[in-house]
A and B are shown apart, each in its own frame.
Chain A
Amino acid sequence: MSELKPMSDNTPESAERRRVIGGLAAAAAGLAIAPGIKLIEVAQARPEEQGASSAVRWGMLVDATKCATGCDDCVSACSTENGWTPVAESAKPRQAPQWIRKLELQDPLTQMETNLPMMCQHCAEPPCVDVCPTGASFKRADGIVLVNRHTCIGCRYCMMACPYKARSLVHEPLNDTQKADVPRGVGCVESCSLCVQKVDRGDGTTACAEACSAAGHNAIVFGDLNDPDSEISKRLRELPTKQVRADLKLNTGVRYHGI
């Protein structure tokens, strides 16, 4: 210890030391302020301890007339946001999960072509929730249909029951592309979650809707169906829309225009 130099402000190193200390202080101040900034962001989202509210019903309007042929930006954005590998990149495409897909439709008589994104329709009366033996498949109060990955036993009964082929089983152990806020697991069923992590953060949109807007198509509008002043509600009032498999009377949260 005696070999250490005595502390002195007159040494040439002291100026350097002051700069370092100053830098550290600035960093500390930054760190102290940062949580404050973060707090403001969180304050806009639903507090963690507060459950989803049935006053809200999240839904989507898909305008098939604006959905561009050959564009699958929504699919890529969903894959990036939620960490599932695109089917085209999978070694075993038929066993690969897919949360959202572009569906191309053609009337064999008139040759009219339509294309649209297809995903979990977030039914008010979801058949997948009805048939799930353990209750792993569930609907939140705000209308989002999810799978609890802790209680899913991988029986695939929900996949048999879904009229939209919206669900996938994770067939193989996952690599490290998983996102921290999107838990997934081998042997469990998964599907579109309406980007529940973004919704709960207060983003007010989904990855697919964002990507569609960014591409300039604006074919996907996300919002609260219960709020008459939301953009989605306004547009739904103006546009004629349909539910896919309306005959099943599932009251889907995703509505389509132009089909």
Chain B
Amino acid sequence: MASITFREVEGSSLKYWLLLGGLGLFVLFGALSWNYMHHHGHVVSGMDNQIVWGLPHVFAVFLIVAASGALNVASIASVFNKPLYKPLAPLSAILALALMLGGLLVLVLDLGRSDRLIVAMTNFNFKSMFTWNVFLYSGFFALVGVYLWTMLDRNVKTYSKTAGTAAFIWRLLLTTGTGSLFGFLVARELYGSAMLAPMFIIMSFAYGLAIYLMVLVAAYAWSGRTLGDAVMMRLKSLLAVFVAAVLYFVVVHHLTNLYFTKYHAVEAFILRDGGIFTTLFWVGQIVIGGVVPLVILLSGLGRQRAWILVACALVILGGVAQMYVTIIGAQAYPLDMFPGLDETSSFFDGEIHAYAPSVPEFFLGLGGVAIALLVTTFAVKVLRLLPASLDDATVAKLEH
């Protein structure tokens, strides 16, 4: 196999510092938002006792799911031994760590008592999927960290495949755990399905790869390095497969629900009568996040880099829409305690709940995204994560 030279990005240009500063600003906004919400309580958020998980959860779960998916490329390289993906693996691992960090920060800073994080780290209830996720997330940091080390340090390079395999298995468990956070909730009609675990896995593949592709292209373009079409074409085909698989799972999930009469009302809410949720489902999740990217990636447009990036951005937007519909839509639909009867109460029973995210919630979520990108931007400057060149000739040599 041809050898590849990895090199840090120089990171001394004005553009680099502007990028770092810009991201830092969003991290600051996120921190201020948390401080504001923590000081006043959740009363300043759009969340209430009907919609208890709001926009920060949408961002957090999206980032956590995407983090698992960002490790795709590294997994393909190590576990499935594909030489083309090997030079792409270190960025994949660092991006996975960074996205996980961003997601977890948003999650814990949105707790009603985020000052009690230590309680969550020292008191465990092993019947809770949330507790399992604490271990799954911590383990992800440890395993991907070790995996990254095996990729960067020649002395431990021989353990790379083992570490990569361990990280691969762990990330599948992790996304199963994240999907099961919802799948284990019997009360909400839109959840309570084992379908959510595999669906979250395939969603992670698509979202993670879309983010990876955008970061890869940006890193190469902004540091003046060559990124050949061979890599791009391979990854965009993979993305198309993942996006198609997400669509397949979404269709099967809803068809399964539609088979059962008891779910007809909640399905009608999401698919037809749910206002913003219906719009986000059809326009955001299905058209923007699925159909349009597929058309771009599978048609002639998919041969142009700009269009591939458009498709990636749409997959990411569609992913956020999907999380919004999944997390908030399921809460907006009222609990059905007395099937067949109309319910009313002073606690807003039996009515569709409205939710309008507040500015702090939005900036807290964006803060998570910013911290993920900030960590990645910093890491490529201090660590040798990116090959000096990924032109077609270099890449072609890898496979021979």
| A-to-B contact residues, CB < 8 Å | 72, 75, 87-88, 92-98, 101-108, 114, 118, 127, 129-136, 151-157, 159-165, 168-173, 185-189, 244-245, 248, 259
A79 to B353, CA, bound (A): 24
Interface pairs A-B: 5 shortest CB-CB = A154-B112, A187-B112, A133-B130, A172-B43, A94-B48
Can you spell out 12 A-B residue pairs with CB atoms less than 8 angstroms apart? Answer: A87-B346, A95-B48, A103-B337, A129-B127, A131-B184, A160-B53, A160-B331, A168-B49, A171-B48, A172-B41, A172-B42, A185-B113
A244 to B52, CA, bound (A): 22
Please tell me if the beta carbons of A134 and B123 are within 8 angstroms of each other in the complex. yes
Partner of A102, one of B127, B337, B346: B346
Interface of chain A: mostly helix, strand, loop or mixed: loop
A107 to B181, CA, bound (A): 34
B3 on the A face (CB < 8 A): no
Given A151-B119, A160-B188, A172-B40, are A118 and B345 also a contact pair (CB < 8 Å)?
yes
Partner of B50, one of A94, A132, A155, A188: A94
B129 on the A face (CB < 8 A): yes
Known: A135-B124, A154-B112. 7 other contacts (CB 8 A): A92-B43, A129-B125, A131-B130, A134-B125, A153-B117, A159-B49, A171-B47
| A155 cross-chain contacts in B, Cβ below 8 A | 111-112, 120, 130
| A133 cross-chain contacts in B, Cβ below 8 A | 120, 123-125, 128, 130-131, 134
Please tell me if the beta carbons of A163 and B134 are within 8 angstroms of each other in the complex. no
Please tell me if the beta carbons of B119 and A105 are within 8 angstroms of each other in the complex. no
Interface of chain B: mostly helix, strand, loop or mixed: loop
Please tell me if the beta carbons of A157 and B123 are within 8 angstroms of each other in the complex. no
Most chain B CB neighbours (cut-off 10 Å) among A75, A96, A131: A131
| A114 cross-chain contacts in B, Cβ below 8 A | 341
| A107 cross-chain contacts in B, Cβ below 8 A | 340-342
A189 to B116, CA, bound (A): 14
Distance from A92 Cβ to chain B, minimum over Cβ atoms (Å): 6
Please tell me if the beta carbons of B128 and A98 are within 8 angstroms of each other in the complex. no
Partner of A245, one of B123, B125, B188, B337: B337
B344 on the A face (CB < 8 A): yes
| A248 cross-chain contacts in B, Cβ below 8 A | 186
A170 to B186, CA, bound (A): 24
Please tell me if the beta carbons of A132 and B49 are within 8 angstroms of each other in the complex. no
B259 on the A face (CB < 8 A): no
Distance from B189 Cβ to chain A, minimum over Cβ atoms (Å): 10
Most chain A CB neighbours (cut-off 10 Å) among B129, B130, B338: B338
Kindly report which residue of chain A lies nearest to residue B130, judged by CB atoms: A133
| B53 cross-chain contacts in A, Cβ below 8 A | 156, 160
Distance from B126 Cβ to chain A, minimum over Cβ atoms (Å): 10
A130 to B125, CA, bound (A): 8
Please tell me if the beta carbons of A131 and B338 are within 8 angstroms of each other in the complex. no
Please tell me if the beta carbons of B185 and A131 are within 8 angstroms of each other in the complex. yes
Kindly report which residue of chain A lies nearest to residue B107, judged by CB atoms: A155
Given A95-B43, A133-B128, are A156 and B112 also a contact pair (CB < 8 Å)?
yes
Please tell me if the beta carbons of B345 and A157 are within 8 angstroms of each other in the complex. no
B335 on the A face (CB < 8 A): yes
| B338 cross-chain contacts in A, Cβ below 8 A | 105, 244, 259
A57 to B347, CA, bound (A): 28
A131 to B117, CA, bound (A): 17
| B392 cross-chain contacts in A, Cβ below 8 A | none
Partner of B349, one of A75, A103, A108, A173: A103
Kindly report which residue of chain A lies nearest to residue B262, judged by CB atoms: A247
Given A133-B134, A134-B124, are A165 and B347 also a contact pair (CB < 8 Å)?
yes
Kindly report which residue of chain A lies nearest to residue B131, judged by CB atoms: A133
| B331 cross-chain contacts in A, Cβ below 8 A | 160
A255 to B120, CA, bound (A): 34
| B130 cross-chain contacts in A, Cβ below 8 A | 131-133, 155, 157
| B348 cross-chain contacts in A, Cβ below 8 A | 94
B1 on the A face (CB < 8 A): no
A153 to B52, CA, bound (A): 14
B273 on the A face (CB < 8 A): no
Please tell me if the beta carbons of A164 and B185 are within 8 angstroms of each other in the complex. no
B343 on the A face (CB < 8 A): yes
| A157 cross-chain contacts in B, Cβ below 8 A | 128, 130, 181
A136 to B337, CA, bound (A): 25
Please tell me if the beta carbons of A156 and B119 are within 8 angstroms of each other in the complex. no
| B52 cross-chain contacts in A, Cβ below 8 A | 156, 159-160, 169
Distance from A249 Cβ to chain B, minimum over Cβ atoms (Å): 10
What 0/1 readout, one digit per residue, does chain B (343-364) give for beta carbons within 8 Å of chain A? 1111111000000000000000
| A163 cross-chain contacts in B, Cβ below 8 A | 186-187, 335, 337
Partner of B335, one of A102, A164, A173: A164
Distance from A85 Cβ to chain B, minimum over Cβ atoms (Å): 12
| B335 cross-chain contacts in A, Cβ below 8 A | 163-165
A107 to B339, CA, bound (A): 10
A129 to B131, CA, bound (A): 12
What 0/1 readout, one digit per residue, does chain B (184-218) give for beta carbons within 8 Å of chain A? 11111000000000000000000000000000000
| B129 cross-chain contacts in A, Cβ below 8 A | 131
